[in-house]
Structure 1
């Protein structure tokens, strides 16, 4: 059973000090999921290294958002500004029990339309589920007005990783949904 709420809503909540541990725990699940595509292995204590995660809590311009499904933490989004002026979705995670139920799509569309402007979304091409998801979200957000390109993964992020695929689009604010 996923929730006792009849029709839970999906919301994005800025992460403050009280939610930071929730995102840090969910980030372990995210890193585990990504290990399939990037080869991350757990450290000696059984956890996954995510050295850049603190930047999203502490560095100006970066942001961590908790995805809430009713009262349940369903995942998180990490964003950062890029040199060319776009906002990058650096990480996006939804717990497995809520995948393919519209929660991630709703959270992604809320994010893209709540902050109009240029967006850049990276994913590994071997991650077919992410490729389908982000291409569908881009089309839902802006129709055919988006493009896709390959860019190298910085060596500091994952040595010898295949190029990322990037979806680039520009959104406008939507009215009430």
Structure 2
């Protein structure tokens, strides 16, 4: 094979929109996500052993919503679900990285890649009881827009769950200036 026909190496990490072909991969990874979140939200599996995730199909069909697949060296590594908010921001509705790749900066790379590749207003909800997520998202916000570039607020949990906390914590930030390099970012 000469240089003109040699395939370029695949980057070790990619973040791309889920396709009809990769939708089953996201659906299976979503089961792992729901299992992880059951610790904080009290979700139990159904009689067949699967966790309900009613809104998931909307991320493949509803305008404005999107499912993205994280890959590490070509293997499925996690996913991100985004949707527009009533306030005009984009919400990260779900974010998941498989346990084998946690603490290896895969989640950090994917979160920052998403925020930087799509400048604008973002809203990210998490449960304070999920200490790892709280640390992660506060660190991501600071890295994306600086310590003074984001704020946090509490909002009522909009969905019933057996062990749901009374409030979600939300990080609100705008990556527009960071993406354009305004204010030294």
TM-score surpassing 0.5?
yes
- 1:45 maps to 2:48: yes
Partners of 1:25 and 1:77 lie apart in 2 by: 13
- Matches of 1:167 and 1:67 in 2, distance apart? 22
Deviation at 1:13, TM superposition (A): 1.2
Spell out structure 1 runs of 4+ moving beyond 2 A: 172-175
Distance 1:174 1:76 in 2: 26
Q: 1:4 — aligned with what?
A: none
In the alignment, the residues of structure 2 paired with residue 13 and residue 164 of structure 1 have an alpha-carbon distance, to the nearest angstrom, of 27
RMSD, aligned CA = 1.5
Matches within 5 A, 1:58-69: 58-69=61-72
Q: Deviations over 1:43-78 (max 9, x none)?
A: 000000000000000101000000011201100000
Q: Does the Cα contact within 8 Å between 1:146 and 1:170 map onto a contact in 2?
A: yes
Q: What residue number does 1:138 align with?
A: 141
1:126-151 deviation line (CA, Å, top 9, x unaligned)? 00000010001001100111011111
The number of residue pairs the alignment matches comes to 168
Q: Does residue 75 of the first structure (1) align with residue 78 of the second (2)?
A: yes
8 Å contact from structure 1 (residues 10, 68) kept in 2: yes
SS of residue in 2 equivalent to 1:11:
strand
Q: Structure 2: give runs of 5+ residues left out of the alignment.
A: 1-9
The alpha-carbon deviation at position 160 of structure 1 amounts to 5.9
Aligned to 2:174: 170
Q: Aligned match of 2:116 in 91, 113, 117?
A: 113
Quote the residue 2:5 is aligned against: none
In 2: Cα distance, 1:105 partner to 1:174 partner? 21
> What is the TM-score of this pair, normalised by structure 1?
0.91
Other-structure match for 1:127? 130
**Residue 7 of structure 2 aligns with which residue?**
none
**TM-score, length basis structure 2:** 0.87
- The 3-state SS of whatever aligns with 1:32 is helix
Indicate the structure (1 or 2) with the bigger Cα radius of gyration: 2
The runs of 5 or more residues in structure 1 that have no matched partner are: 1-6
Offset at residue 155 of structure 1 (A): 2.9
Asked whether the 8 Å contact 2:124–2:171 carries over to 1, the reply is yes
Question: Judging changes above 3 Å, is the alpha-carbon distance between structure 1 residues 159 and 151 closer, same or farther for their aligned structure 2 residues?
Answer: farther
Counterpart check, 1:152 vs 2:156: yes
SS at 2:104 equivalent? coil
Which stretch shifts more, 26-35 or 147-156? 147-156
